[in-house]
Structure 1
Amino acid sequence: MKQVLTIAGSDSGGGAGIQADIKTFQELDVFGTSVITAVTAQNTRGVIDVAPVPIENIEKQLQAVGDDFDIAAVKTGMLFDAVTIRTVADSIKHYNWQRLVVDPVMIAKGGASLLKEEAKDSLIKHLLPLATLVTPNIPEAEALSGIQIYNEQTRRMAAEQILKSGAQGVLIKGGHGADPDFTEDFYLDQHGGSLVLRSSRIQTKHTHGTGCTFSAALAAEFAKGKSIEEAFLTAKQFIQSAIEHSLNIGAGHGPTNHSAYRHYAQKEMIRYVH
């Protein structure tokens, strides 16, 4: 079984972060390992507290995984500060881990900051150059590129700017888009190859952990040797099912249903290449 590593924060509510990643790995038939960078106290209503894990412990977690497991893909989520980002980047290079998916977690659903402002430059300088794929949502893509996204042209401009960091590809998620009926996820790589997947927008407040889950699904598929097109389609189907078949848990933004992918027929995606 392929072994995958998630480097992210812990979510006490179980819907995002390490917990979402491990559930996703399990559903997609890869073995999940983890390095916890921060412990959050949160539920569906929001983040109450964030406690970073001491950097010495993060280093030891990375070493423990790297010295024993044959890691086929890595996914990063909440990294919190610049020191953690540099430490993670150093370990990725030291162990020569390939197929890196970077989910640049910056802001929680309720608005709490999950990445210190000064860490953004470290993310761009140290981690993105190692990435096979970067998966920002629209606000994160705007923050990383400095470009406001309001149409297809500006979306592509933002992607091109992010690619200047050295990442092999960028996938801008469309959940924050303005279209009331559809969402579009846009992929662009260093060679100009692009792909868009469009799906029906599901009217629900239970979307906690969607970004974590989507990027974890991509990492799982990359670990199995799937192409970007195959991984993109599977991850999109996975998260679409997880949102559509809601668990209706919690009083706020509830978690998605990670087991839905196995139990419900998959929705067809409108797939086309620019």
Structure 2
Amino acid sequence: MTFASTAAQSPAQSPAVVLTIAGSEATGGAGAQADLKTFQELGVFGIANLTCIVSFDPNDNWNHRFVPMEQQVIADQLEATTAAYGAAAGAPSGGTEPGRPVLDTVKIGMMGSPATIGTVAAALAAGDFRNVVLDPVLICKGQEPGHALDTDQALKAEILPLATFVTPNHFEAESLSGLVITDVESLKAAAIRIHELSGAVVLAKGGVRLSGPDAVDVYYDGETLEVLSAPKVGEVAVSGAGCSLAAAVTAELAKGAAPLEAARTAKAFVTAGIRNRVASGAPFDALWQGGSR
């Protein structure tokens, strides 16, 4: 299968620069590792600022072992990245060097704690980001329930209002919308509700969670409501699919694609990656970002 980006760039152009603020996932299937591989495949220059380190525990039903980064370390990463690639980098007058790519697109992944959410929200509010793509990771398996709830509430209060594009999975779409999602029609209703609450473009993922032969996602931007579907590849979720979908949207937006085209490209990219997934000794497969090749 040959994969063609909807916003391909000339080799003579500098690549668009994109940032993921996310956790490290030790097996390489998800998190910042998946984001960076997706960025590379789609022809953008990827940067990762880490919020936490997650290691699955094979001796405890593959639950997460979760270690947050210190807040100063997170702030230092964000400071270095925005100083190097932000809109005013190297130009006190607020300009940039002619032809130099500017970091105006960021993907938000695993935060892990209210403190981290506050640090990241402050950086987003102070920055000049045209696109803020939120993959609203609400639960980290293995976290204390109370801590997870505090994190969820902080994410909704502090990060969601800053997002321009949000990609909730089935569980996250239910949590954000307050609706029960059992079929495509209720997934549509959830996407509309999340847009109304946030103002962001929404790509709500049904994936394998909804019955039927197709993996179905719903796009809604306030005007256009479109169902994106592709035949299911198995009935079990694949590690890294959600991260890679949001990262693909991020890459395409950075290159100038319209939101709907970015969503369509991301859907095709992830479907190819699931079809060519990578097996391991873990009880789940990982999406291969090179699957579209």
1:102: how far off? Answer: 0.2
Q: Hey, what does 1:248 align to over in structure 2?
A: 279
SS at match of 1:158: helix
Contact 2:139/2:148, CA 8 A, preserved across alignment: no
**Identical-pair percentage:** 36
Of 197, 200, 213, the match for 1:168: 200
Scaled by the length of structure 1, what TM-score is found?
0.88
Distance 2:237 2:195 in 1: 31
Question: Do structure 1's residue 257 and structure 2's residue 288 form an aligned pair?
Answer: yes
- Listed one character per residue, the Cα deviations across residues 24-59 of structure 1 (whole Å, up to 9, x for unaligned) are 000000001111000111278633410000111111
Q: Does the 8 Å contact 2:177/2:194 carry over to 1? A: yes
C-alpha contact 1:72 1:223 (8 A) present in aligned 2 = yes
Amino acid at match of 1:58: I
2:54 corresponds to 1:40: yes
Q: Is the 2:17–2:103 contact (alpha carbons within 8 Å) kept by the matching residues of 1?
A: yes
* Inter-partner Cα distance in structure 1 for 2:57 and 2:279: 13
Q: Could you tell me how far apart the structure 1 residues matched to 2:151 and 2:206 are? A: 24
Matched, 1:153 2:188: no
TM-score, normalising length: structure 2 = 0.83
Gaps of 5+ in 2: 1-14, 86-101
Aligned to 2:8: none
Amino acid at match of 2:148: K
- Higher-Rg structure is 2
- Equivalences, count: 259
SS state at 1:164 partner = helix
Out of 36, 61, 65, the position equivalent to 1:22 is 36
In the alignment, is residue 215 of structure 1 matched against residue 246 of structure 2? yes
Q: Does 1:3 align with 2:17?
A: yes
Are residue 91 (structure 1) and residue 105 (structure 2) matched?
no
Structure 2 distance, partners of 1:228, 1:250, is: 37
Contact 1:120 1:144 in 2 (8 A): no
The secondary structure found in structure 1 opposite 2:84 is coil
Is contact 1:27-1:259 (8 Å) kept? yes
Cα deviation, residue 204, structure 1: 6.0
Cα 1:113–1:133 shift into 2, 3 Å: farther
Letter paired with 2:275: E
> Secondary structure, in 3 states, of the residue corresponding to 1:172?
strand
Indicate yes or no: 2:120 matched with 1:104. no
Where in structure 1 are there 5+ consecutive unaligned residues? 264-274
Match of 1:272 in 2: none
Q: Give the root-mean-square deviation of aligned CA atoms.
A: 1.9
Q: Deviations over 1:116-151 (max 9, x none)?
A: 211222212211111111100111111112211113
Q: Which residue of 1 is the match for residue 73 of structure 2?
A: 57
Take 2:259 and 2:237, find their aligned partners in 1: how far apart are those partners? Answer: 27
| 1:237 matched to 2:251 | no
2:40 and 2:248 map into 1 onto residues whose CA distance is 10
User: How far did residue 74 of structure 1 move?
Assistant: 0.5
Q: 1:162 to 1:16 in 2, by over 3 A?
A: same
Query: C-alpha distance in 1, partners of 2:257/2:127?
Result: 22
Task: Find the residue that maps to 2:206 and give its secondary structure.
Answer: coil
> Does structure 2 retain, via aligned residues, the 8 Å contact 1:78–1:105?
yes
Cα distance in 2, alignment partners of residues 24 and 142 from structure 1: 27
Asked if the contact 1:2/1:72 (under 8 Å) is kept, the reply is no
Among 202, 218, 242, the alignment partner of 1:186 is 218
Deviating above 6 A after TM superposition, structure 1's stretches of 4 or more consecutive aligned residues are none
